[in-house]
Amino acid sequence: MGLVVAALAVLPACGVAQTPAGPPPLWLGVSWYPEQWPEAQWEQDLTLMQKSGVRFVRMAEFAWSTMEPAEGQYRFEWLDHAIAAAARHNIYVVLGTPTAAPPAWLTEKYPQTLRVDEDGSVAQHGNRQQFNFTSPKYRELSAKISAEMGKRYGHNATVIGWQIDNELTRESYDAGTRKSFQDWLQGRYGTLDNLNARWTTSYWSQTYSSWSQIPIESSKGNPGLLLNWRRFDSDTWRDYAKNEIDALRKYTDPKQFVTTNVLGWGQMSYDHGEVAQLMDFISYDDYFPQGEVDLAKNGSDDDMQRGFKGKNFWVIETQPAFVNWGGINQTLEKGEVRALAWHNIGHGADAVAYWQWRSARNGQEEYHGTLVGANGKPVPVYDEVAQLGREFEKAGPALAGTQPTSEVAVLHTYDSFWAINLQRHSKDFDPIEELVSYYKPLKALAQSVDVVAPTNDLSKYKLVVAPGLNVLSDAAAKNLMAYVRNGGHLVLGQRSAMKDDDNALQPQDQPGPLAELLGAHVTQFYALIKPVGVDGEFGQEKSKIWAEQLVTDVPDVDVWARYSKSNGWLDGQPAIVSRKVGKGTITYVGVWMSDAGMKKLTEKLVAMSGVSAAFGPVPEGVEVNPRRSADKTVFVLVNMSDGEKTVDAPRLMQDVLQGGDVKHVTLPKYGVAVLEEAAGTSRSRASH
């Protein structure tokens, strides 16, 4: 870019330069695509945005063909104008690098950049994400457009940050990617002998005598290969994102943040935590395709996002009432959009942004929910979002600098998720559902839960629950053992520690390296069509989907529950065992009980480990979310039950949204309260 163009970047588009008034602590935002509309219509859009309390727009993430209509010919004037117009309406801008939607000239001129699907078909222009994530040419072109954007907007005070690409998702199965995978494996394993041994390739004559023989595939191959293909996928996306970040960062003000938007539980093909490490914070896209909300599942997703970096995150996309890609695109109910935004804030989101602002007149998403229609006029959900805008402004100062903190951690790794999913053994064994079966009662009891990796520092948690830690690395095993020996309470769920880092069965008794500490082991697993009875501390329960037969190896192991008469093998055998280790405990749960059973189990675990409710008892269906800073705790309460609920506060608290001090609040269905208490007025929150 020449000097003239560079100079233009700092000149206001129309008259006096203007920047939005100070960044808010809580951000309301929308995805806005000014390139789809004549400039004459922008003013009306921005006026309505400003009225609703929108404080940022995300732009340009699909606008490559508008920014670079032919190779090397840049057209940024429209974007200059759009950014300046947003600023005049007190609206900041997040710019997306446009690489999720390469222009037609690019795919025509450089067909080697096209993605190849697993069935060998080559992606074509006409949709998005047709690029190949390992293509050197695509990396070069991506870096170029990112750099051009960085040069032009890297010091624009209205641009608060950058989004890299959009929902990194689709891997390629072309020859170049295969070669990259083989090189990557060579880096990981060193020698073929090592790889062959660790993958047990003598099985079915898979033994490799040359790296070039190793295939790429996603579902039917050797489990060692399949797990490593996912890891390669994660590393490749990280490098892909780094390519753009490096290009941008040459030119951008360090004050501008860099993030990317991942999908949560909905898209688990690579490790989002890996990519998150490159970002200032992670953003995610939170959707409810059929308009049906599983609050615990969504809450655990939010908490996983927060867990990637141990800091607050952004919901950079969510639906204004409905999407266009579910089976039946049912709308969220009136009031639910607002309630869900507060649920996200409660779990640590500092921004909630709607996709998208205005219906595009054409394109693949014509039917998607928006805040204004193609006619530029508000649709019904606009008012609800405008209410949120007012509330974010009001509650911002109270929530500034706060984040959720928890006494309980639920452990999650992508390795374990993939390993179980690749060999479910029972089609009904969904590792996310398994995690949620623990998360849900724990969240209700403790009212705040972290979802983190087993290699994290666990010393701050009173209770650590690993629902399905199927693949246990040596580092994770050491960390977990140290946690228990230092007085922590560790709970292992079904299928824990069956596999080593290569997705091979542990040679020791399950749970592998942890079996000795447990003083017990799993001797056999059983996939179930009919649930089996479980008797013990939790009454007459049943295990569904899966049952593990436990054996105690030393006398000081407590048996909390045994199987009742079922398939003969399990009759009378231990189903849940626990052992004291100094001040700590290690517990193995071989069953997957009903919601009521899991609740009783978690009640015992919480009591045993001294975990306390962050707020205190609330009526069922009301979610409590604490956010803390050094000098205060703010509780976000959301009523997701079907009727009105009255919540008694444990102490007098300040009602941030309604004003005044309150001892109780009455919440209608989808009602929200934000209650603040100064530090020192609550019980001490110091955990061990």
Residue labelled with tokens 């989907």: 545
Q: How far is the CB of 166 from ligand GAL (least distance, A)?
A: 5
Give the contacts of 682 (CB within 8 A, at least 6 positions apart). 633, 650, 651
Min. distance of Cβ 360 from ligand GAL in angstroms?
11
Residue 167 a catalytic site member: yes
Nearer to ligand GAL among residue 218 and residue 267 (C-beta):
267
Q: How far is CA 233 from CA 230, 269, 303, in A?
A: 5, 8, 23
Which residues lie across from 351 on neighbouring strands? 27, 314
Q: Which of residues 526-585 bind ligand GAL (CB under 6 A)?
A: none
- CB of 135 vs ligand GAL, minimal distance in Å: 21
For residue 110, count CB atoms less than 10 angstroms from its CB and return exposed for 0-12, middle for 13-18, buried for 19 or more: middle
Query: Measured on CA atoms in the order 398, 401, 405, 410, is the torsion positive or negative?
Result: positive
Closer to ligand GAL at the Cβ: 78 or 287?
A: 287
| Annotated catalytic residue 548 | no
Told to check if 354 binds ligand GAL by CB under 6 A, we report no
Among 45, 317, 391, 677, binds ligand GAL (CB under 6 A): 317
- Smaller CB distance to ligand GAL: residue 111 or 363? 363
Is 441 in contact with 470 (CB distance < 8 Å)? Answer: no
Name the token pair of 431.
């590792």
Nearer to ligand GAL, 165 or 548 (CB): 165
Instruction: Find the radius of gyration of the CA atoms of the chain.
Output: 26
| Residue 365 touching ligand GAL (CB under 6 A) | yes
Q: Is 323 in the site for ligand GAL (CB under 6 A)?
A: yes
Q: Cα–Cα distance between 62 and 563 in angstroms, integer?
A: 56
User: Which one is catalytic: 68, 244, 274, 317?
Assistant: 317
Nearest approach in angstroms of CB 355 to ligand GAL is 5
Q: Taking the complex as a whole, how short is the minimal distance between the CB of residue 256 and ligand GAL, in angstroms? A: 21
To ligand GAL, the closest distance from the beta carbon of 100 in angstroms equals: 8
- Using CB under 6 A as the criterion, what x/- string covers residues 122-161 for binding ligand GAL? ----------------------------------------
Q: Select the residue interacting with ligand GAL from 165, 167, 415, 548 (CB under 6 A).
A: 167
Go through 65-76 and write b for each residue having 16 or more CB atoms within 10 A of its CB, e for each that does not. Answer: bbbbeeeeebeb
> In angstroms, what is the minimal distance from the CB of 286 to ligand GAL?
10
The nearest distance, CB 124 to ligand GAL, in angstroms, is: 19
| 3 state SS of 241 | helix
Which position among 288, 342, 355, 563 is part of the footprint of ligand GAL (CB under 6 A)? 355
Alpha-helical runs (H) found in 332-380: 336-346
Look at strands 449-452 and 574-581 and give their pairing.
Answer: unpaired
Contacts of 601 (CB under 8 A, 6+ apart): 441, 538, 576, 589, 593
Nearest to 502 by CA among 184, 244, 295, 231: 231
Q: Which is nearer to ligand GAL, 263 or 491 (CB)?
A: 263
CB 657 within 8 Å of CB 634: no
- The nearest distance, CB 224 to ligand GAL, in angstroms, is 32
Tokens of 615: 């707020």
- Which residues are CB-neighbours of 82 under 8 A, at least 6 positions away? 32, 34, 42, 59, 93
Name the residue with tokens 């749970």: 511
Q: How many residues belong to the site for ligand GAL (CB under 6 A)?
A: 9
Minimum CB distance to ligand GAL, residue 302 (Å) = 17
Determine the Cα–Cα distance for residues 27 and 370; give it in Å rounded to an integer.
18
Among positions 152, 238, 272, 368, the unique one binding ligand GAL when judged by CB under 6 A: 368
Q: Give the active site residue among 167, 274, 336, 384.
A: 167
Judged by beta carbon, residue 365 or residue 433, the one nearer ligand GAL is: 365
CB 17 within 8 A of CB 343: no
Separation of alpha carbons 248 and 65, rounded Å: 19
User: What is the Cα–Cα distance from 463 to 64, expressed in whole angstroms?
Assistant: 48
Residue 285 interacts with ligand GAL (CB under 6 A)?
yes
- How far apart, in whole angstroms, are the C-alpha atoms of residue 452 and residue 398? 27
Residue 421, judged by CB atoms within 10 A of its CB (0-12, 13-18, 19+), counts as middle
CA-CA distance, 227 to 231, in Å (whole number)?
6
DSSP-assigned beta bridge partners for residue 87: none
Q: Which residues bind ligand GAL (CB under 6 A)?
A: 166-167, 285, 287, 317, 323, 355, 365, 368
Catalytic residues: 167, 317
